[in-house]
Structures are given as C-alpha cells and as structure tokens.
Structure 1
Amino acid sequence: MTPATAVAKAAANSERITSLHYRVTGTVPEKGRLEAEASMHTEPAVMKMKMNATEQGRDGQLEIRFVDEVMYVSGTAIDSEKLDGKSWFSAHPAVWGRGAMDNKSYRVLPTQIEGNPAAQSTILTASKDVRRIGTETIDGTRTTHYRGTVTSHNIRAARDTAANKAARERQINNLDQFMMLRIDDTLTMDLWIGDDNHTRQFRMRGDTRATGGGTEGKPLDLAITFLDINQPVTVEAPPSEDTADIAVLADKAQAG
C-alpha cells in the first residue's frame, strides 16, 4: 500500500466516526502549552472536555460542556466572584465541531481545537509529499507513522481534481478545517495509522497568521490521540441552580 493510499483509507474510516474519546497535548497561540481530554458525539452534537493551560498551573483549569447548543464552563480559570456564587456559567447559542464560520465558543476554546478531530485527521489526504516514516507503538497499538506537508493551495488542487463527489466533499471540508487552524503557509502533519486502517494519532505543526489578539508568528504544535472510537458518550448539562447565564451576568455588570 502506498503512503497516499494508506492515508486515504484512514481518512475514509475517520469520516465514519460518530463518537470519539481523545487526548490533546501541545502548544496553541491563544493559550500556550495545554493539555486536554475530551469526548464527543456527532448526533446529537455534544462534547465534554477538561482542559488545562499548563503554564498557568491550577489557574488554567477548565471544564467545558456543549449540550443542546449551550456551552457550560467551570473551573479554577474563572473568577468565582463574578458568577454570583454559582460553579458554572452558560452561554448560548454555542457551537462546537462544525466549520470555521459556524463554531462559537466565546473565546473559551482556542480556535484550533474547536474542530472535530476526526475531520481534522483527514487533512493529510491533500498532501503531495506524504511519506512513510516507520512503525511506532501508540498507547499499546502498533502503528505506521506517515508525514507530509499541506498548504491551502494543495487542498484546493485536490478539490478541483477529485475523482468523485465524496473525495471532492472531503477536500472542501479539509479547506474549512485548514482555515480554522489559521496556518500562515505550510502545515506539517504526522499521522499514525493502526493495522486496522484507523487513525490513532495525528500531529499538526506550523506558524499561524496574525490575529486581532497579536498572535503573529506564534507556533501551533498540537497532537491529538484517539483513545476510544464509536463508544457511547453521555454529556449532561450541570444543575440549573448552580449555573449562571453569561448574558445575565453581563447585564448586571453594565447596570452596576
């Protein structure tokens, strides 16, 4: 099997993922070094994550849930005095796991992890230089390691020369995922694929373009490990009596 064929097979399998338990480690422009563990389901669209901006220690810990297009947030990174004695705040409408123009997490999540990681893992299918690096064990699973580079031009070219509708739609989605990463030019991507042709881990590296927050030139280096695939996932909203609506809190702050 050629590297391109192996990557395409893994991408096709990733597109069949309806739920995922995964781990995130690395560096993002908005928060620096972070660690996170999350579970998500596509239908209904729910997600729960525990995230720690490690450079901030305990002051960087957050728990985030998306349920029924409402985002709930708790953790030591939030000033509890501003929550009227509650442990959580809610914000809506909130959207996670869609496209670059559709996601809305009120700047709680870094843009680069607002996307569905199963969809992000297929970006390497647009590479023109994907190659086999070797075999490695990821969380006890034997995998083959591939690496390649991708640009927005590569993705558009793959879209325009796609052999069928499914391949074209994949590259349209890949372009959207690439936009969310805010890569300035070239994305270097590593992909670890198991013997069952399922992605087990991928890593994305590159410089990000400037934003209004002054993040010009800051690097992205993010690794996502798939821990469980297509297993049951339950995400529940926290108790309403322990949740403050961020819109109500904002109105009170303005009135005060």
Structure 2
Amino acid sequence: MRTSVRVPVGAGLAALLLAAGAVGCSKGDGSESPRMTPAAAVAKAAKNADDIDSIRYRMTGKVPENGRVEAEARTRIKPTFAMSMKMTAPDQGAAGTAEFRLVDKAVYIGGGPEAAKEMDGKSWIKIDLSELGMDEKVNKLIGASQAADKNPATESTFLTWSKDVEKVGTETVEGVKTTHYKGTVALADLEKSIGDEDEVVREERQKSLDRYEKMGADKLVMDMWVDGDDQTKQFRMRADADKGPLDLTFTFFGVNEPVEVAAPPAAEVADLAEMRKGAQQG
C-alpha cells in the first residue's frame, strides 16, 4: 500500500479553510440603508458572519497550478465543527476528483477508484487531528471566530481593509436581490492590520497572507454581493500570481440549516497513522 494519493489535497483544504469562516446567505430583499457607505455595508456583512451556525455553498474558479476547480460544500460550526466537500479539478484528469470530510476530530480524504488502486481497495485516507496535535487548534479557531469582537480571520473579511471599496450596483444572485461592492486590497495593508486580534485568529490570517505572497501576488481584487439582511450572498476574490491566476467565487445557498456529516464506512478507510507505522516497520 502506498502512503500517498493523487488528489488535490492542498487546493481542497485551502478552500475548506477559506470557507469555514465565510459569511452565509439569507432571505433579504436587496434593500440598502441610504445612510450606509459602501465600506460600512461591507464591514457589517463581514461582522454578521459571527452569528452563523452552519452554511451550504458552491465554489467555482481557478487556482494557481491546479487550474479550474468546482466544489459543493457544507459546514457546521455549532455545536460541534464538521465539514463535507465534494471537489473536482477538471484540468487534473481522473486524479482531480476528491471528497473531504472533517468529523469527530478527523479529516477523511476520498479519492474514489483512483485512490483505491493505490491503497489496496480502500478509497479514503483518515488523518487523526488529535495525533497531529491539531484538534485543539481547530477548536480554538472556531471559538475565536465566534466570540471575537472583530471579524473572523478569513479571506471573506479582507474587503473591509480596502481603501477603494465602492458600490457597483444592484444585482440578482440565485434569485436574491443584492447590492454588489468591489474593492482592491493590498497585501501590505493586510499585513499592517494584524495586531490586536486573538492569537489563533492572528495566526490564521498570517498564514493566509503567506500563502498569497508565495503565489507571487501583491494585491487581491474582491467583490461582495450583500443581501437586504446585511448578509453576503456571494463573494469573489482574484489575484495575478506567478504560477497562474487565482479567481474563486463562493455562492451561498443556506444558513443555519441542519448539517450532518458522517465518517465513511470503516472498511473503505485507510488510517494514515497506521500506514506510516507500517512503512517504518518495513
């Protein structure tokens, strides 16, 4: 049995982290306070992410090196954290399809038939977060994003640091009337914004910045579609990177709906820790 599977793990987990603290949709009518400036409207929508218990969303776009990506995902934040994402990277061929589940302090990565060929018929890899010392960190991150006075340290809040945020107009997204805002965010300005946040939130924000800097990007072009309840219905981020364009759009379909995530059948799962032990003994 091999100890690796060719699935877009990096892109998938990055997308999961990106969306974990993103804001969700609601039933607003697209109305907007005439006294609210574009910057204030964006800040209010970002802040409202704190009240979300669960979200369901779609992600489409391009990421450097992996090319096109498409995903459908569900995330439960309270009372316990869980995620489920089905992701496809069309430009990666058969190895570009994978499913991710985070439940009961473990991450399961499913690669389908391609993965089964490399793992004696097992199509899922299990990564125990407690063995990696990550379970407590995940708990702290979720707690910080829900309890902090300021916005969660996710890319969905970066538009609040734009110096040129503006209202584009009123648009309908998936049948919901929204107000479209747009702005450019320099990574240097985001770097300066890291300061008095919670330690875990600050660490996650720094990791996000480091990821973009490694891509060779120096700024992000961001769009946000906000509904009449001051919630984000859609969010887009773009950047010119050294290894190709970054262009991701998140569209939200549900907020605070029941989300159940189950671990795959045990017979279909290969435990990464056991695989490593076997490799060491070998």
1:33 offset after TM fit, Å?
Answer: 0.5
How does 1:184-223 map onto structure 2 within 5 Å?
184-208=217-241, 216-223=242-249
* SS in structure 2 at match of 1:187: strand
1:92 offset after TM fit, Å?
Answer: 2.3
**Greater mean alpha carbon deviation, residues 74-83 or residues 233-242:** 74-83
Pick from 44, 47, 51 the counterpart of residue 87 of structure 2: 51
> Aligned equivalents of 1:149 and 1:136: distance in 2?
20
Match of 2:155 in 1: 120
Match of 1:32 in 2: 67
> Aligned equivalents of 1:61 and 1:86: distance in 2?
16
Match of 2:148 in 1: none
1:246 offset after TM fit, Å?
Answer: 2.2
* SS in structure 2 at match of 1:237: coil
Pick from 251, 259, 265 the counterpart of residue 225 of structure 1: 251
Change in 2 beyond 3 A, CA 1:91/1:174: closer
Change in 2 beyond 3 A, CA 1:135/1:175: farther
> Aligned equivalents of 1:118 and 1:77: distance in 2?
36
> Aligned equivalents of 2:106 and 2:94: distance in 1?
25
1:88 offset after TM fit, Å?
Answer: 1.6
Match of 1:152 in 2: 187
> Aligned equivalents of 1:21 and 1:73: distance in 2?
19
* SS in structure 2 at match of 1:196: coil
1:219 maps to a residue whose letter is: P
How does 1:88-167 map onto structure 2 within 5 Å?
88-93=124-129, 119-158=154-193
Q: TM-score, normalised by structure 2?
A: 0.70
1:194 offset after TM fit, Å?
Answer: 0.7
Q: Could you report, residue by residue, the CA deviation over 1:133-159 in whole angstroms, capped at 9, with x for unpaired residues? A: 111111110111111011233234556
Over the matched positions of the two proteins, sequence identity in percent amounts to 44
1:63 offset after TM fit, Å?
Answer: 1.0
1:251 offset after TM fit, Å?
Answer: 4.5
> Aligned equivalents of 1:126 and 1:207: distance in 2?
19
* SS in structure 2 at match of 1:153: helix
Match of 2:122 in 1: 86
Change in 2 beyond 3 A, CA 1:196/1:178: farther
1:69 offset after TM fit, Å?
Answer: 2.5
**Is contact 2:57–2:73 with CA below 8 Å preserved after alignment?**
yes
**Is contact 1:31–1:53 with CA below 8 Å preserved after alignment?**
yes
Change in 2 beyond 3 A, CA 1:145/1:67: same
Match of 1:112 in 2: none
Q: Mind listing any 5+ residue stretches in structure 2 that lack a counterpart?
A: 1-35, 142-151
Match of 1:69 in 2: 105
> Aligned equivalents of 2:49 and 2:176: distance in 1?
17
* Structure with bigger RCO (C-alpha 8 Å, 6+ apart): 2
* SS in structure 2 at match of 1:232: coil
> Aligned equivalents of 1:179 and 1:24: distance in 2?
22
* SS in structure 2 at match of 1:86: coil
Q: What is the alpha-carbon root mean square deviation over aligned residues?
A: 2.9
**Is contact 1:121–1:199 with CA below 8 Å preserved after alignment?**
no
* SS in structure 1 at match of 2:235: strand
1:200 offset after TM fit, Å?
Answer: 0.6
* SS in structure 2 at match of 1:62: strand
Q: Mind listing any 5+ residue stretches in structure 1 that lack a counterpart?
A: 103-116, 209-215
* SS in structure 2 at match of 1:15: helix
1:255 offset after TM fit, Å?
Answer: 5.8
2:168 maps to a residue whose letter is: I
